Structure 1
């Protein structure tokens, strides 16, 4: 009986360990950070309206993308805004920047 209860307890803990929200402070991949911070406003694989201009105009440089994450963007209306992500550490900011720059160079599949 004890062996069954111990097995049930371990199985439950393993199951629950896979549930819940990941701690964003521990995230390191650009894709994971994009899914956590960006995907609720931007469709998967769509870096956003400001970045869409980069597909037809000179592309944003990596440092410009990084500045958008650090300081946000305000165009005077509620549609063209992006919050600043000042909680990201340098490694996370760089990983997210690299991921978004990679998205910018993918063919636009929405046409």
Structure 2
């Protein structure tokens, strides 16, 4: 039993140690999106695999609205987490990344 517990701790430490939180000064929208958003919305923005999570290309928010949704949430999206730890500049970088991604 102690060996199993130790092995579990080693595995968990390895998993979480590989994905460190981005530098708070990071302004790269693509990197920030990958860390904070892609887990649900996927890298491509197609979040349709999770019921109720819209794909990014079907969302009709302005850049300013996206910044607010990212940082403070939205009453119509109660299951989406908000990321108040992000600066407005970081949330804006994510919004700009989304807008560029939608044009492709």
Q: TM-score, normalised by structure 1?
A: 0.58
Give the alignment of 1:1-111 within 5 angstroms: 21-46=20-45, 48=47, 49=54, 51-54=56-59, 59-75=60-76, 81-106=79-104
* Superposition deviation, residue 52 in structure 1: 3.4
* Superposition deviation, residue 53 in structure 1: 2.5
1:52-77 deviations in Å (ceiling 9; x for gaps): 324xxxx421111111112213447x
2:30–2:97 contact (8 Å) kept in structure 1: yes
| Counterpart residue number, 1:7 | none
Greater relative contact order (CA < 8 Å, ≥ 6 in sequence): 1
Gaps of 5+ in 1: 1-18, 107-111
Specify whether residues 42 and 51 from structure 1 end up closer, same or farther in structure 2 by C-alpha distance, changes over 3 A only.
closer
**Aligned Cα RMSD in Å?**
2.5
Q: Which has the larger radius of gyration?
A: 1
Gaps of 5+ in 2: 1-17, 48-53
